[in-house]
Amino acid sequence: MKKNLFILLVFIALAGFSANAQILEPVKWSYAAKKLNAKEAIIYLKATIEPGWHLYSQYVKDGGPVATSFTFLSSKTYSLIGKTIEPKPITKNEPVFSMNVSFFERSAIFQQKVKLVGKSVVVKGKVEFMVCDDKQCLPPSEVEFSVAVK
């Protein structure tokens, strides 16, 4: 009986410990589209960043953090026009990387212009990104997105 009680108490303690473990997700992504005319639209990819965290620019030199990158799936209903545009980043020296690094705080809205070929257009792809705060960097993450252009 004592052995069963001991096992039960260990199980409860471990369950409580794992419930307190927190999965960090300091960036939330949202998406929207705006038609410019019958043949063009802009896809908006917004990163909302928790205070204290940095999301890195698309333009990071070798030896730095993983740059934010967007991959758009090929489709017969749309084609990309130019590259994904980002807002002006903050650029500072980050001692952990021993270099100047460009990043965003609080939020960043990236924009991709597309040429519309079909009537019912859904732009799909993924964003890869990395975030750090003053104590840690999280491993790079990938998030898939799907944006209907109406």
Neighbour tally for 53: CB within 10 Å: 20
Residue 92 exposure: Cα atoms within 13 Å on the Cβ side: 9
Residue 9 CA from chain centroid, whole number:
40
Tens of pLDDT along 9-26? 334 444 444 444 568 899
* Predicted local distance difference test score (pLDDT) of residue 6: 36
Round to whole Å and give the CA distance between 22 and 26.
12
User: What topology does CATH give the domain 26-149?
Assistant: Immunoglobulin-like (2.60.40)
pTM of the model: 0.83
Tens of pLDDT along 101-129? 999 999 999 999 999 998 889 999 999 99
Tens of pLDDT along 57-78? 999 999 999 999 999 999 999 9
Instruction: Band the pLDDT of 85: cuts 50, 70, 90.
Output: very high
> Who's near 72: CB < 8 A, 6+ residues apart?
80, 112, 123, 124, 125
Question: Over 50: is that where the pLDDT of 1 sits?
Answer: no
> Who's near 17: CB < 8 A, 6+ residues apart?
none
